[in-house]
Amino acid sequence: MEDPSIDRSAFNKKKPDGNRANGTWGKGKKDRSGPPLQKSGGRSGESSGDDSLRLLPNSVEAEKGVLSCMLQAPKAAIGETVERVTANHFHVPAHQVLYELIIEINESGKPVNPVSVQQTLMDREILDQVGGPAAVLDLFTFVPTAAHLSFYLDVLCEKYILRNIIESCTNCVTFAYGNQENVEMVLDEVERVVLGIRGEDKAKLKSMSDLVMEAIDEIEEMVANPGSLNGLPTGFSELDKMTNGLHGGEMFILAARPSMGKTSFVMNIVETLAVDNNIPCAVFSLEMSAKQLVQRLLCSRARINMLSLQSGMMRQSDIQNLTRAARELSAATIVIDDTPSISILELRHKTRRFRDQFGIKAIAIDYLQLMRSTSKRAQENRQQEIAEISSGIKGLAKELDIPALVLAQLNRNPEGREGGKPRLSDLRESGSIEQDADIVGLLVRSEYYAGDAEEKEEVAGEAELIIAKQRNGPTGEVSLSFLKQFMRFETRAWEEGEGGGN
């Protein structure tokens, strides 16, 4: 008799490094001494008590160094500077004016030098605001060479981040004093603000010309690669053709009645993303345990009957397939959180942490109606609670620029229709789900509503995903096959005479 044991060494995976997000803010040498303590006459960011009042962190020398490099070597320095900082990075108002003016002169095609800058300031009658003609000439000669621009930019960015931290924390203190009755909401807001500092380094509103150029770049890429997906693949060819893949910032609602296979369908998509395309994903499972989900993934990947796995009655070929599937899954980054009845605030907190720790690019939630909101208004009204959860997930997808796959339950209305076909209005408990979603897919299996055994056998395995809403594309039906024994959906292979094909 052959040994049915599984070779575990074949799929051991090194645990992800949880410290990947612990980077530093600057590459240059840091000034550990801090700014001198001075009386500042009640400016923002000051501390009180026994300490002297402090000026906000800044480096006038670094600001002058950056402007000096831009004047000395405009062709090289201006491009590098614009990529890293904005006018807000400069603490001295006169330096903000000079930075914006140098950029403007450069974009107009005129030469950037002390003469052109000084003349433009004179024409606009603002030369005195920057310190007069001598100030411009002093900037030009402030550093001997532009070779150390990167160092000056590092210092500039560090001081800007420190000012942001002080401002954000001051605002958080005020927010905490004013919302003492809702600690979870305060925690979520503080986390959002503090984590936002790291990603705010170059955050700014984009002009229409910038947005148009980005759109043109995407269109040119699509023209250059006709037929290629613009988003993340789902593994279902017909669905990908209809949606052009999953896109960052979008919420994809997958709704169905119980026992239709919602969890299997979304885990098939997660498997395609994480295993076949090496795209890190996070799964929030409120209904099933992480162990159960992994067993489903193994059965689906290895194409092993779930009953055979649970009973232990497997052939040697099944063992080999299971070992292969385990190796492939172990190499993928799928973060599973099976916290029951998770709140929207906790989900947002964990998703941000998973993004920083594992670099996740998509999330799946199973399922929406099992989540809860902690606000007082939501606890008094179930529809209000679902609305807050739905809008919270949509806001999270936009904030992190990732797609959110969200499972949802339908009400009982499909049970009274012939064939059990669901409609958009069947979404349970709140119309806000329909409103917030970018795509709504309604999953139905024909055999579930078959009238007799003969009809059930005839339509066995047939399933449809009805795209009832798509904000940026067409609606329609995607034909699927459900391999029940493997807990797996696949694009249905058209038989001759059905009038279509893949």
Q: Can you list the domains of the chain with their CATH numbers? A: 43-204 (1.10.860.10), 231-491 (3.40.50.300)
Angle 199-187-372 from CA coordinates, rounded to 5°: 105
310 contact partners, CB below 8 Å, separation of at least 6: none
Whether 287 sits among the annotated catalytic residues: the reply is yes
Position 467 scores a pLDDT of 92
Whether 344 shows a pLDDT value over 80: the answer reads: yes
Q: Is 495 helix (H, G, I), strand (E, B) or coil?
A: coil
Provide the CA 57 distance to its chain's centre, in angstroms: 31
Q: How confident is the model over 33-64, as pLDDT tens digits?
A: 333 323 333 333 344 444 445 788 999 999 99
Bridge partners (DSSP) listed for residue 478: 465
Q: Which residues contact 151 (CB under 8 A, 6 or more apart)?
A: 28, 29
pLDDT one-digit tens code per residue, 430-477: 677 888 889 999 998 888 777 777 777 777 778 889 999 998 889 899
Give the pLDDT mean for 298-315: 82
Please name the amino acid found at residue 501. G
Coil/strand/helix, residue 356: helix
CA 367 – CA 341 distance, rounded (Å): 10
pLDDT for 156 equals: 92
pLDDT digits (tens, 9 = 90+) for 186-231: 887 787 777 777 655 444 556 677 778 877 887 777 777 776 778 8
Average pLDDT of span 357-363: 92
Give me the catalytic one of 46, 189, 287, 462. 287
- DSSP H helices, 333-436, are 344-358, 376-380, 382-400, 432-436
pLDDT, position 361: 93
Q: Could you tell me the two tokens for 78?
A: 């201006």
Name the E strands within 190-344.
251-256, 281-285, 334-337
Residue 180 has what pLDDT?
A: 81
pTM: 0.61
